[in-house]
Amino acid sequence: MGEVEDATGKPIFPHDAVMFETTTGGAQHGHGRGLVLKALPDKRMISVLCVDGTEVEKKPCELTVVDRTMLRLGMPVMSASDTGGQAGVITGVATALDLVDLNSGAVVATGVSAAEVCPVMEKLSPGDYVVSGTWLGRVLELSFDVDVLFDDDSSVCRVTRASDDNRLRILDRECMLDEDSFLPGDRVTGDSSVFKASRWLRGHWKPNRCEGTVAKVGLGGVLVYWVVSLHASADPPPAYQANPRDLTFFCSGDIYRMWFWLVSQRCFFRSKHRRQTKKVRRWRGTRRRTRRPDRRDLERPMAVADTRTTVDVLWQDGTRQQGVPSASLLRILVQNPQDFLPGQRVVSKAVVPGQHNNNNNNNNNNDDDDVPRRVGIVQSLSYKDQTAYVSWITDHHDPAGESSSEVDTTVMSTYDLRRSSDHNFLYGNIVVRRLPARETTGMEAGGDTKQVINDLSWVGHIVGLCDTEYIHVKWGDGNTSKVLLGEIAFVKPRRIEDMRNEMGDWVHDEDDDDATEDRAQEDSNDGGEVDHNSVMEAEDGHVRAAAIGHVGNIIMEVIRTASGMLAQLNRFLASGLMVSASRSMKPAAKPENIQSRLPKRSKNDNAQGAVPAEPLASHDSGDNAVFHLKHFDVVQSPQDHHYLDNKEQQGSGGPRAWLKRVQKEWKILETDLPDTIYVRAFEDHMDLLRAVMVGASGTPYQDGLFFFDMKLPPSYPVTPPQVKYHSFGLHANPNLYPSGTVCLSLLGTFGGEGPELWSPDMSTILQVLVSIQGLVLTEKPYYNETGFEAQVGTPEGHRNELPYCESTYLVNLNTMLHLIRRPPGSFRAFVMDHFRRHGQHILRACEAYLKEGCPVRTLDGEGCATKASTEQPPCSKGFRLALTNVVPRLVEAFTRIGAQGSEAAPGMKVAEDEVDLAEPKDTVQDSEEEEGTV
């Protein structure tokens, strides 16, 4: 719905508070304020909920977004006026409310703090974190008890589990946010049998009593999944808590169910004094009188007429803003892997020369995973340049057994960083205190646990991360302290669906969207509270931002040094294949036309029969020499095939129909394969195949090789083939997972309909291969992610698409290095021959990126700039900085395999001291002094 804009050009989202013109001069439709519910199907009108509960329809141009209350601590955001700029994280939230009387519409109070009011019913929600004794758990299910008052004689009946199976139904209520919640004053009805089986608090059941008024609502029972305890060996409380008063609410755990104050919601004052000023007494005699409750005596709640939410934001450049109006921000639903925030722990992906893991047992293992890596803390980031200030922590241990830490701050390319899997936490994440072993033992042996049980001092939220030694935690008892990493344990968010499945028969199936909502919650890592006293002054953040700009010259100097090194490419290229001097400035190829630009070969291009050896490609002179390696061939199966040890092997035999279909597939592959796809079938394992694709020019996959192992199950072609991608642990595409999974509708690994799905009669292996090359290895792989196609042409899409392409090209280069070091069987000669021929194009492309700043995807097939290279913004400094780490390894690898012109290659090496940015600490200090003099 964010594509719909208001009168000022701001996007409109569900639950936004909006202002609109009233049709009369009075206070009609909630004083011109309302809450956005949804866009109507034609998107020409917006459904708005008014304060009095009525629903109106407005044109988007008639609305102005004035507030967004659904913002929480730890949530990533961006400025609504700069959607292509930097991101930030919310570190504090404050909401003020205007309240009106429901009966008269009169204003009761304005600017009321959210802490001064409470919902009509203090209730828990699924996903909430609760504490019982020394255990922290999450709410899975709730049941409600409703007291119903009958008008004829003021009898009262208590209906348990009122919301289950529509035991009670609400009557005569206008559109409300909480349609399934019962509120005092609601008119409800139910079957006579429901009231007959219920407990009567006053009066007794009568057959004609089927309608009444809600007098009171309370929690009847709570089902809890217990997550973690202060004591490691303590037994958890019962999962079903019949008395919710035994539970202490800690925080909401689900962004889609947590409590936000929204326009039209009902509430009471928490303070009895403020309630008294509003309440009208009906009995004022000197004589004490008692009577039965009456519907007229029920206290009516107030309604929220307006909200004003402000937040504190820590931006990527290190600056902090306080009191930012919520309407000026947008929530970031999707973050690139390079979207680091200050305080996040990272490790370097840059490989130290000579350090490699030689494990050859798994094609999908990242060879560099076992290399020891330092942990760093992001201090600030330049999103435009894709560079980050990182404080690296090195622990030292002297012979006496004492340890110390050394902090070294450098400027890094964001492409050379990744989140530390051992320190994957952010602002608002929940933590629990680790008790010393001796203290835990003493308490478990019968020590005094009263203090621990009665307070929340052992569970809290992260509120500060930029400290290189300590983490700042705000505990449940309100205190804030600094703790070491080893003194706390992190509570990893889990999907409610998974916890329900683990609980088994405890839980009834419900039609909800928990799976989708909880996945978004996991990616966001939201939650927590902020300690405003710990917030740094804004000036400190501006110093960091200035420092990033100051070291820009250093970055450019490093890039110039690397570019100078690449100047030796001229000798490297000159001694290799000569390129024609007249190159046409042709635009990059479009992925949607990939099949049409891949020429088909005639049936006579391949000889018949299987050959056991791997024929080498011809070394004809000229850049455009054609490979003479057969595009399809039948050979002996390689030992490194992913499915070779599969238990359901068909081997060289099988049912006659299955063999006939396989032979038909082979014939299609032999005659119709595009020139950039090569396939090997295996005479001793007819159920297995291996395919390789050459990355097309005009894409970030240019000149790369992408291998896929395939298996035809015994049920083939009723079921689609199984496909495994040789990822080497790298994430080359949203549809190519590091695990090797290929996400494609045709393979049944992704949803689809009609022709997108596998058809036993129509679908073929060739269709699978062409689909992977044409739909996955595309020009703009960012949009392959589910739902991201809606971002095409939007500022948010442009913001994420370019860094994703740069990152993908770096993955492509690293995949080349893995393939040269460990080429897949049946294609070893092909891999070497491909990179002998194309190595010069790959290095020429790196030169164009480093020296000319050409954007990724804009080079021709020989790695030269095109017209599009000058029409688009240049590639980022961080991308070029990351290239300086990859190019020396490429040169070394190409030299080792004897790439054409390799006699000039040994001189193309970047010295280690040229890559490392010098003395970043001094740079920061100088920037601070400079700032101070200003």
Q: What is the DSSP string of 176-220?
A: -S-TT---TT-EEE--HHHHHTSEEEES---TT--EEEEEEEEEE
Q: How far is CA 399 from CA 404, 502, 823, in A?
A: 12, 49, 45
The CA distance from 886 to 902, in Å, is: 17
Q: Report helix, strand or coil for 415.
A: helix
CA nearest to 680, candidates 596, 729, 610: 610
The CA distance from 691 to 676, in Å, is: 11
CA nearest to 846, candidates 903, 886, 794: 886
The DSSP output letter for 674 is B
The CA distance from 921 to 407, in Å, is: 10
Q: For residues 454 and 275, is the Cβ–Cβ distance under 8 A?
A: no
CA nearest to 738, candidates 364, 362, 338: 364
Q: For residues 73 and 260, is the Cβ–Cβ distance under 8 A?
A: no
Q: How many residues does the chain have?
A: 934
User: Which residue out of 743, 846, 854, 875 is catalytically annotated?
Assistant: 743
The CA distance from 520 to 256, in Å, is: 9
50 catalytic? Reply is no
| Preceding amide of 337 cis, omega within 30 | no
Angle at which helices 538-550 and 552-566 pack, to 10 degrees? Answer: 20
Q: Which long-range contacts (C-beta less than 8 Å, at least 24 apart) are formed by 275-284? A: 275/299, 278/101, 278/108, 278/302
465-493: b (≥16 Cβ within 10 Å) or e:
bbeeeebbbbbbeeebeebeeebbebbeb
For residue 775, how many C-alpha atoms fall within 13 Å in the half-sphere facing its CB? 15
Q: For residues 303 and 340, is the Cβ–Cβ distance under 8 A?
A: no
Instruction: Output the CA angle 875-379-482, nearest 5 degrees.
Output: 160
Q: How far is CA 561 from CA 411, 701, 847, 885, in A?
A: 16, 26, 12, 12
For residue 727, how many C-alpha atoms fall within 13 Å in the half-sphere facing its CB? 21
How many CB atoms sit inside 10 A of residue 655's CB? Answer: 10
- Which tokens hold the place of 205? 């059941």
Residue 409: which residues within 8 A CB-CB, separation 6 or more?
379, 389, 390, 391, 392, 920, 921, 924
CA nearest to 517, candidates 529, 530, 508, 526: 526
- Which tokens hold the place of 609? 């029969």
> Which residue has 């036993």 as its token pair?
760
Q: For residues 525 and 74, is the Cβ–Cβ distance under 8 A?
A: yes
The DSSP output letter for 662 is H
Q: For residues 142 and 127, is the Cβ–Cβ distance under 8 A?
A: no
Q: For residues 840 and 899, is the Cβ–Cβ distance under 8 A?
A: yes
Q: How far is CA 788 from CA 5, 699, 742, 783, in A?
A: 19, 18, 18, 5
> Which residue has 């009906």 as its token pair?
282
Q: For residues 927 and 547, is the Cβ–Cβ distance under 8 A?
A: yes
For residue 57, how many C-alpha atoms fall within 13 Å in the half-sphere facing its CB? 7
Any idea which residues carry the catalytic annotation? 743
